[in-house]
Every structure is written in structure tokens, then in C-alpha cells.
Structure 1
Amino acid sequence: MTNLSTNVHCDTFKGVRVVSPLLHAFEFMSIVGNGTSEYDFLKEYAKNKAWDFDLNMVLDFIKLRENTVVITCPNEKIQWVNKGFTRMTGYGFNEAVGKSPNFLQGKETSLVTRQLIRERLNLRAPFSGQVINYRKDGGAYVCRVDILPVFNQDKVLSNFIALEHELV
């Protein structure tokens, strides 16, 4: 199994409307130096986590890229972010891993939105909405956020996957 902390290069989804957990889980990634294909890496990760859906169903969507993808563990600590995350936020992979995604929130982030996100995640339910987040340089940006719980074959929560797209 490839370790998620491995140096990862990746691209992002573009123009994908969230319609199912399948669309969130996958994007092309290149593992530096080991020759693992982007799809094989994700397939291996999903197999290790025993995700309860077929990766082949999303191959057509993988080609559409430009959004930010964040994978967290069940306790909502970031395990992996894509290159789009770094472009949008200014935070590198190593700066984000291990933190809660709420480190991006700040004074203009709506308390109502924060509470709704918390409520939905506690229920292990999806969340969709607009959020004001903050870049590393302190600048605010508005993004559409879709967060989905991913369950394994035993119906146990395995991860949360968030797809974000900055609104212009």
C-alpha cells in the first residue's frame, strides 16, 4: 500500500457537479518516483479502506479536473490534499496533514455555516454549501464545499471527502 504521506503530485476536477460519493473520491495523482499510475494509487487506497463502491464507475469524471479535494479520517483530521488545495489556499501538503479543515475558517466564516457543517458531520451525513475560508496569506475567499462521508463494506465510516470550488 502506498503511504498517503508520500510526495504526491496531482491535478484536480474541473466542472464536476457533485452527484455521488464516487465523484469525490477520485482524481489523477502521480506518485513521485515509483511509477504507480494515478488511478492505481487511488484504487489501492480504496481497496485498503474497503470503500463500498466501484472505482471504474468514475473513470470518465476523473478526466475533468480543477477543484480542491481533501480526504480526512473519521475524526476529521486531514490525511491528504491535492495540488488544487495548495493553489487555492497557499498551504502545502505537509502544512495541512494532521489538521482539521476548520483551520481555514476565520472571522468572516458564518457561525451558522460552521454549526451546520458540524451537525452534518456528527450525523455522518453529506454537507453542501458556501463557506468563507482563508488563505495562508490571510485573504478570504468564498468556495462551494461538498463533503461526503465514505463508508467501507461493513458500513463503518472510513473517511470524509471534501470537494471545494472557489466561487468568483
Structure 2
Amino acid sequence: MKNPIYMSCLDIYTSNSKTSQLEKFQTGIETEKFKTMPLMSWDIFMTDYYQRIEASQKQMELDQVLSFARKFKWKNDFKSAFAENDYEALVITDKDQNIIWVNSGFTQMTGYSKSFALNKTPRFLQGEKTSEKTKRRIRQSIEKNKPFRDIVFNYKKDGTPYKCEVHVIPLYNEHTTHYMAFERQVV
């Protein structure tokens, strides 16, 4: 007797077939060659699959940042920065905070396209409920030219407000030339 937990896809397909269809179908198949697999294993496979996709995406983003690092001769330890920060969006700005690059996670998190964000400052995400105190604190942190974390109230393209944790890192060669922000939506 088959354990109902270990049904193959073929079993699921054929369970809804009429008897005459099932007999015709089964005559051409040697069922001993098929191994059954618990349906739960599909969840494990998909979880692993998405983890691999996410790891691949993060590696591509790191490679892009390392490409910028070579171009601008940045001396930051990017591998550590990526390993230590959980993020959805990555934003790189010049010293005047004009956006020069965002990852695809930025579009997913905010609804704004990469091309729309370019040459704008991240302030375009702020709005009515963005605290003046928070904006002042962020400006002061940038002026200190040290890495910092803060939470800012931003708005998506569709007007939906969200809280965004930002971890800003000055990017430097001999002097700070750019900034990189690891961003994620928080509850």
C-alpha cells in the first residue's frame, strides 16, 4: 500500500482521470522506474532555489560595486560591508548625494525605476511625514563623514509610506568621493 504522503506527480495527475483514460495511460509506462518523492521536498527545493538566486543577485551587486571601486580607487572593505549588512536596496551617490547607481531591489522596494532615480538625491523619497529631526540628524551624520545607521520615513512611488533603515558608508580613496547606503524596509 502506498503511503499517501509519498505521492508522485503522476499519481496526482492520474487520480483525476477516468478509468478508461487511466488504463490507456498506464499501459505505456513502467512505474517501477519512477521513484516517489514526498511533496514536502518540493518546498525544500524551492527554498534552496530562491536562496541560490538571492545569493547570485547579491554577488552580482557586489561585483558591480567592486567595479565602481576600481574606477574610483575606493579603499573600503566591500566584502565585509556586504557580509555585515542585510539590505533590500543599494544606493550609491556622489559626494553631493546625487544618485549614480541603484540595484534592482531599490525598484522593488520603492516602485521607482533605476533611470528615474539617477541624478536625483534620495530626498525625493521623503514627504510630508518625514521628520525634520531625522533629516537634520542624517545631514549631520553625513557631514561627520563616518558610517551611520538611521531610520527615515519615506514614500513609495504610489504614495505608500514606509520606514526605511539606512546604513550609510562613506566611500573613499584619499578623501570621501561617494556614499553607499544599504537600505531595508522595517516595520
Q: Normalization by structure 1: what TM-score?
A: 0.70
How many residue pairs are counted as aligned between the two chains?
A: 134
Q: Does the alignment pair 1:143 with 2:164? A: yes
The structure with the largest strand share of the pair is 1
Point out 4+ residue stretches in structure 1 off by more than 3 angstroms.
57-60
- Report the residue type matching 1:123 in the other structure: K
CA distance in 2, matches of 1:93, 1:144: 20
Kept after mapping to 1: 8 A contact 2:171/2:179: yes
Aligned-residue offset at 1:58: 3.8
Deviations 1:82-126 (A, max 9, x none): 111000100000000000001101111111000011111122222
Deviations 1:11-47 (A, max 9, x none): 878xxxxxxxxxxxxx4337xxxxxxx62x4333211
The structure with the largest helix share of the pair is 2
Instruction: Report which of the two structures shows the higher radius of gyration computed on alpha carbons.
Output: 2
The aligned counterpart of 1:28 is: 59
| RMSD (CA atoms) | 2.7
Structure 2 unaligned segments of length 5 or more: list them. Answer: 1-52
The 3 A distance-change label for structure 1 pair 105 and 48 is same
Deviations 1:116-156 (A, max 9, x none): 1111112222231111100001110012111111111x2x1
Structure 1 unaligned segments of length 5 or more: list them. Answer: 1-10, 14-26, 31-37
Quick one: percent identity of the two aligned structures? Answer: 35
Higher relative contact order (CA 8 A, sep 6+): 1
- Report the residue type matching 1:61 in the other structure: A
- Report the residue type matching 1:111 in the other structure: E
